[in-house]
A and B are shown apart, each in its own frame.
Chain A
Amino acid sequence: MTHTLHRQGSVEDLHEDYVLLLRTSRFVNHEGSEKTMQQIWEVISHYREDLVNFGNHNPNWDGGELYDLDALQKAKSRIIHVVFRDREKIKACLKEIKERDFGISTVVSGLCGETEKICAEIGISPHTVNYSLGIHGNTGRVPQGEILEIHTMCGHSMVATNLIHHMVNEINKGKITCWAAAKNLSRMCDCGIFNTYRAEKLLRSMTTDRSR
């Protein structure tokens, strides 16, 4: 699945949006990696104050009962998703993962240029790249602007555009804050890759709410 690849937004916005993925391969090492994946969750827990979102293959929506770093260190994970907003934090986390030499395939989904620099700074030579060449076809049917940026933060397209519009209306009526609306939208992303922090900023730019 290419679910973190086609996130939309300006370079400036994407400076606060890095997804770290680690996964076992079904045909190579699904079995026997349980302990290693738990150890990786333990490393990630060192950065708990810096994480925007996280999850494994379970429905881990932000704020749900499985949204628990301690529980994930005991769970069976085939995949680990972690969202950072700060390149220095993801760099520190990656450095630790590299030094621990877990042997699990590791992917960064984010700005190419910054990822290249991070890799150079910690001595990693990347293996493969998946480029996004954008959206094609009847693009008049695609939502525009900030709505699209928020929508594409869930690669499974589960963050319904109608709900984003509804949240914008509710914020403008003073019924909900931007932060609460971002958390509400994040519930739709089972994988934990929705960048709630960035969504709040986008909602703030679209509405009259200035509080948090």
Chain B
Amino acid sequence: MIIDRETCIGCGECVFTCTVAAIRQADEKAAIDREMCVECGNCLRIAECPTGALQQDELVWPRVVRKYFSDNQQPWPKELCFSTGYGRGTDECKTNDRSGRFQRGQVGVMIEVGRPGVSASFRDVEKVLQALIKADVEFEEKTPLTALMKDKGKGILRDDIRDERVLSCIIEAKIKKEDLEKTIGIVKQVATEIDTVFSFGLVTRLEEGFQSPLEPVFNAMGIHPRPNAKINLGLGKPIFEA
């Protein structure tokens, strides 16, 4: 985003709409910190700039990556288009009854770096990726982030995007259930080494009667998941059979 200082009247309407507080009033005009701006487009949609001073400039690679991840109305280009074709991640558990992506004995690991509302650079994302390598994770193939990896085996991203920032981006991976305790330990450790935050989720198939195979590990580690969760009810048909 850019703000034309000539036409900006300093009304401040856009300041409040910025998801990462990158817009500030300076000398009675609004100004954008282009390094912090994640190109989510919220200001343009919501603020209704009275003079048209707020504008979306033409975004080229690699800066446009900010928009692909941060603006949920921005479609990904065809070569990087996975899942819904929009946004930061995939269907993950939502269609697991039909896709069979997470099977018994496997655990999905979902780490959304930058969420809630802090944003993240891909340098932070790369730190988490490289930590997860030590947990023997298998990164999901068809995600926007995996498409931007230079070396998936080492968790290395493309050089040209490393300095870009996004509102958030989701690392989607799978582990064997027996590696869960080790993985949680690694995730907790890397949390102390980054300058942003992440929201951490785990996915598992349920047993009959709502029994979770992860509960014994949670109990052993003294972990209490949030009381709210996302539950796929298994109403999709035909249901995936391994």
Stretch at the interface among A42-50, A67-75, A131-139: A131-139
Stretch at the interface among B26-34, B58-66, B145-153, B193-201: B193-201
Q: Which of A140-184 contact B (CB under 8 A)?
A: 141-143, 148, 151-152, 155-158, 160-163, 166
Contact A129 B212, beta carbon cutoff 8 Å: yes
Contact of B97 among A127, A137, A188 (CB under 8 A): A127
Q: Mark A48-91, 1 if CB is under 8 A from B, else 0.
A: 00000000010100000000000000000011000000000000
Contact B97 A160, beta carbon cutoff 8 Å: no
Contact B235 A102, beta carbon cutoff 8 Å: yes
Instruction: Provide the residues of chain B in CB contact with A119, threshold 8 Å.
Output: 210, 231, 233
Residues of B within 8 A of A (CB): 15-19, 21, 40, 42, 46, 72-73, 82-99, 102, 108, 110, 112, 114-118, 142, 167-168, 170, 184, 187-188, 191-192, 194-206, 208-210, 212, 214, 223, 225-239
Q: How many A-B residue pairs have CB under 8 A?
A: 267
A158-B40 CB under 8 A given contacts A2-B110, A2-B170? yes
Indicate whether A38 reaches chain B with its CB closer than 8 angstroms: no
Contact A133 B91, beta carbon cutoff 8 Å: no
Residue of B115, B117, B223, B227 with highest tally of chain A CB at under 10 A: B117
Instruction: Provide the residues of chain A in CB contact with B19, threshold 8 Å.
Output: 157-158, 160
Least distance between A149 CB and chain B CB atoms (Å): 10
Instruction: Provide the residues of chain A in CB contact with B184, threshold 8 Å.
Output: 133
Contact of A131 among B42, B83, B115, B202 (CB under 8 A): B202
12 further A-B contacts with Cβ under 8 Å, apart from A1-B83, A157-B117, are A5-B228, A25-B95, A29-B98, A130-B203, A130-B230, A136-B200, A141-B197, A143-B116, A156-B72, A156-B87, A157-B19, A158-B40
Contact A133 B200, beta carbon cutoff 8 Å: yes
Contact B42 A188, beta carbon cutoff 8 Å: yes
With the chains together, A123 CA to B108 CA distance in Å?
A: 26
Contact of B86 among A11, A57, A94, A111 (CB under 8 A): A57
A128-B226 CB under 8 A given contacts A2-B199, A116-B210, A135-B197? no
With the chains together, A171 CA to B193 CA distance in Å?
A: 39
Least distance between A47 CB and chain B CB atoms (Å): 17
Q: Mark A8-40, 1 if CB is under 8 A from B, else 0.
A: 000100100100010111111100000000000
Contact A113 B202, beta carbon cutoff 8 Å: no
Contact of A26 among B40, B46, B91, B202 (CB under 8 A): B91
Contact A162 B117, beta carbon cutoff 8 Å: no
Interface size on A, residues (CB 8 A): 76
Instruction: Provide the residues of chain B in CB contact with A199, threshold 8 Å.
Output: none
A115-B231 CB under 8 A given contacts A136-B198, A190-B73? yes
A59-B73 CB under 8 A given contacts A2-B170, A127-B97? yes
Contact B204 A128, beta carbon cutoff 8 Å: yes
Contact B206 A128, beta carbon cutoff 8 Å: yes
Instruction: Provide the residues of chain B in CB contact with A97, threshold 8 Å.
Output: 235
30 A-B contacts, Cβ less than 8 Å apart? A1-B83, A1-B87, A1-B92, A6-B226, A21-B94, A24-B95, A25-B91, A26-B83, A27-B99, A28-B98, A105-B98, A107-B232, A112-B228, A128-B231, A130-B108, A130-B230, A130-B231, A132-B229, A135-B116, A135-B198, A137-B197, A141-B197, A152-B116, A156-B87, A156-B88, A157-B167, A160-B19, A162-B15, A188-B17, A188-B42
Contact A23 B91, beta carbon cutoff 8 Å: yes
The residue in chain B whose Cβ has the minimal distance to the Cβ of A160 is: B19
Indicate whether A98 reaches chain B with its CB closer than 8 angstroms: yes
With the chains together, A158 CA to B17 CA distance in Å?
A: 9
Contact B167 A156, beta carbon cutoff 8 Å: yes
With the chains together, A152 CA to B115 CA distance in Å?
A: 9
Least distance between B229 CB and chain A CB atoms (Å): 5
A23-B94 CB under 8 A given contacts A4-B230, A5-B229, A163-B17? yes
Instruction: Provide the residues of chain A in CB contact with B91, threshold 8 Å.
Output: 23, 25-26
Least distance between B205 CB and chain A CB atoms (Å): 5
